[in-house]
Chains A and B, each alone.
Chain A
């Protein structure tokens, strides 16, 4: 983590005490985030912490507000943002959303069985119409790189993070404003589905210069607060 902190854009701080001036930049002000989320918010998919860099600003702002206002419960995140204003959270979200950094290489190693991965692939790309489960691609974009302004990428995320979030929807521990589409989807998943889809997603290589796309591939299968009302 020292690498993450020390190699960050905060090099001005390496100067001696005499000219110890802290840059008045949002990068410096939000530097507390990078201790976990990686250099400039670009953590890879090896551990738990999700990448922030390049995610849609609307999505990041929604999540920061959700930690503050009781819809998400990660205790460190709740503690950090509990006394921050909407304006400041919006500025942080815009900062991380605006970072255009390469994704680290994705490891192709997984202990998931071929059958599990096949099931995950089917859920992600086709869904399960019989159980009312839409394909991930219907909302998160054909390449699963997210959709502006409110839907995040599903590639380039740690398997542990993906499965813990899907599990949180299943157990009613993660919420969004109504209509809470992922809570609807989450309730229809079982633990086998979650393991399968998280395992498969975490193995997917990230397209070069992957960015959230500007438009949904089609109409949203479920009403969703993540997108502005005009796009639902």
Chain B
């Protein structure tokens, strides 16, 4: 009798454990696929050439590593910035050569495994807020140069902060499942049908540039949807929309002159538009520092993205409420016309035109709401060192005011974009 009870318990335990064991059998190899074995002896006594360090410094700018791994006013590459995601906050780690907190005990092989396979030195799976689904494409030689550079920056003992993620996202098991579904290590494969310049652009945009992290869409698990390319994505935690780079209704540069695309990335402003919000940060910290050749390559690649311009929305004047338009017009005349002109014509080189602007007419009004509420300056760059600015209006215009003035701007002077509702402006 007693043995049969024990046997029954054993059956139950096996029945419970079997799926877990089976899952582990599937998940572990899926998470380790594409990994090179670490060298038997770890070469942490790294000998880098000055050229390698300099190339690494440049590549760190191309990848905007400091954008997350340096906090405002903090030691360079010492980490600490919290990256808000729908699953919780992920904190960027210390990349300085500090032995306790940084990568002082890492070898070049460990660093490569992090970049290419998304695993830390201690074997932990890394969260894809660190965009290794893009970085996986960089070459080993570029990874080694980055490593050489990071080993050369001053060590900072800033402690790493534990991530603040909700259950189950805070578990390695959940991350293993995510990676099994969403991540495969990959190498950049040149398209031999395309010129070398295009391929260099593709390598930068798809690899270190990790443009898809913002300009791509994400599935419910937060993974970038590579097949859809740079088709635009909402940066939910910041309330900004990174427009589609493949749609002529959004931010495609297919019809621009290549030198203007270069100017946008180099100076933050170009005849066809300028950068604000998260993209101002990218220009300020990253692209303004890149060579003309690399910017030209990125421009050529971006100009040849497969066109994904959607059909025009049906004309929508009927949906605009006359009293809202009237209220919006009053606010516009009082607050906006002074710089943007009484017919939304703007002023060349200083204040962007609103009439006929793609940014104004884009389906989502998220960026317009941000700009009205917080204002902003274009980034200071060598080509535009003293940008003109827009004041924040968040303390003088309430949610209804902002909705009204934007509804007016999106419906005046030939603009024809959907009204902005208080429901839009109430989202923070």
Chain A residues engaging chain B, CB cutoff 8 angstroms: 1-2, 5-6, 10, 13, 17, 20-22, 26, 28-36, 68-71, 75-76, 78-85, 87-88, 91
- Using known A-B contacts A22-B347, A36-B395, determine if residue A88 contacts B376 with beta carbons closer than 8 Å: no
Look across to chain B and name the residue whose beta carbon is closest to the beta carbon of A26. B386
**Complexed CA–CA distance, A192 and B379 (Å):** 42
For the complex with contacts A5-B338, A22-B348, A33-B389, 4 further pairs of A-B residues with Cβ separation under 8 Å are A1-B335, A26-B386, A35-B392, A76-B394
Chain B binding surface, main DSSP class: loop
Q: Among A69, A83, A88, which residue has its beta carbon within 8 angstroms of that of B280?
A: A83
Q: Are A83 and B379 in contact (CB under 8 A)?
A: yes
Closest Cβ of chain B: how far from A13's Cβ, in Å?
6
Q: Among A22, A69, A78, A91, which residue has its beta carbon within 8 angstroms of that of B349?
A: A22
Q: Are A76 and B375 in contact (CB under 8 A)?
A: yes
**Complexed CA–CA distance, A76 and B393 (Å):** 10
Contact flags B277-288 to A (C-beta < 8 A → 1, else 0): 000110110000
Interfacial chain B residues near A1, Cβ < 8 Å: 335, 396
- Using known A-B contacts A29-B387, A85-B380, determine if residue A20 contacts B345 with beta carbons closer than 8 Å: yes
Q: Are B335 and A6 in contact (CB under 8 A)?
A: no
Q: Among B345, B388, B392, B396, which residue has its beta carbon within 8 angstroms of that of A80?
A: B392
Closest Cβ of chain A: how far from B325's Cβ, in Å?
20
Residues of B320-363 contacting chain A, CB below 8 A: 334-335, 338-339, 341, 343, 345, 347-351
**Complexed CA–CA distance, A187 and B284 (Å):** 36
Interfacial chain A residues near B168, Cβ < 8 Å: none
Contact flags B379-401 to A (C-beta < 8 A → 1, else 0): 11000011111111111100000
Q: Are B386 and A76 in contact (CB under 8 A)?
A: no
Can you spell out 24 A-B residue pairs with CB atoms less than 8 angstroms apart? A1-B396, A5-B335, A10-B338, A20-B341, A20-B347, A22-B349, A22-B350, A22-B351, A26-B386, A29-B387, A31-B339, A31-B388, A32-B388, A35-B375, A35-B393, A69-B72, A70-B71, A70-B73, A81-B377, A82-B281, A83-B284, A83-B379, A84-B377, A84-B380
Decide yes or no whether B166 CB sits under 8 A from chain A.
no
**Complexed CA–CA distance, A22 and B343 (Å):** 16
- Using known A-B contacts A68-B72, A76-B375, A81-B377, determine if residue A32 contacts B391 with beta carbons closer than 8 Å: yes
Chain B residues engaging chain A, CB cutoff 8 angstroms: 71-74, 280-281, 283-284, 334-335, 338-339, 341, 343, 345, 347-351, 374-380, 385-396
Closest Cβ of chain A: how far from B371's Cβ, in Å?
11
**Complexed CA–CA distance, A26 and B380 (Å):** 14
**Complexed CA–CA distance, A32 and B389 (Å):** 5
The residue among A2, A13, A71 with the most chain B CB atoms within 10 A of its own CB is A13
Closest Cβ of chain B: how far from A64's Cβ, in Å?
12
**Complexed CA–CA distance, A30 and B374 (Å):** 15
Closest Cβ of chain A: how far from B353's Cβ, in Å?
10
The residue among A5, A71, A80 with the most chain B CB atoms within 10 A of its own CB is A80
Interfacial chain A residues near B334, Cβ < 8 Å: 2
**Complexed CA–CA distance, A34 and B338 (Å):** 13
Q: Are B376 and A79 in contact (CB under 8 A)?
A: yes
Q: Are A70 and B72 in contact (CB under 8 A)?
A: yes
**Complexed CA–CA distance, A91 and B374 (Å):** 22
**Complexed CA–CA distance, A28 and B390 (Å):** 11
Look across to chain B and name the residue whose beta carbon is closest to the beta carbon of A68. B72
Interfacial chain B residues near A34, Cβ < 8 Å: 391
Look across to chain B and name the residue whose beta carbon is closest to the beta carbon of A34. B391
Interfacial chain A residues near B345, Cβ < 8 Å: 17, 20
**Complexed CA–CA distance, A85 and B288 (Å):** 13
**Complexed CA–CA distance, A35 and B348 (Å):** 22
Interfacial chain B residues near A22, Cβ < 8 Å: 347-351, 388
Q: Among A13, A76, A78, A88, which residue has its beta carbon within 8 angstroms of that of B338?
A: A13
- Using known A-B contacts A20-B341, A36-B395, determine if residue A29 contacts B347 with beta carbons closer than 8 Å: no
**Complexed CA–CA distance, A175 and B113 (Å):** 40
Q: Are B375 and A88 in contact (CB under 8 A)?
A: no
Interfacial chain A residues near B394, Cβ < 8 Å: 76
Interfacial chain B residues near A31, Cβ < 8 Å: 339, 388-389, 391
Q: Are B375 and A83 in contact (CB under 8 A)?
A: no
Query: What 10 A-B pairs come out closest when comparing CB atoms?
Result: A70-B73, A35-B391, A32-B389, A70-B72, A69-B73, A83-B379, A85-B380, A22-B350, A83-B284, A32-B391
Q: Are B281 and A83 in contact (CB under 8 A)?
A: yes
Look across to chain A and name the residue whose beta carbon is closest to the beta carbon of B374. A79
Q: Are B374 and A76 in contact (CB under 8 A)?
A: yes
Q: Among A6, A20, A29, A79, which residue has its beta carbon within 8 angstroms of that of B375?
A: A79
Interfacial chain B residues near A80, Cβ < 8 Å: 374-377, 389, 392
Q: Are A76 and B392 in contact (CB under 8 A)?
A: yes
- Using known A-B contacts A2-B334, A76-B394, A83-B284, determine if residue A32 contacts B377 with beta carbons closer than 8 Å: yes
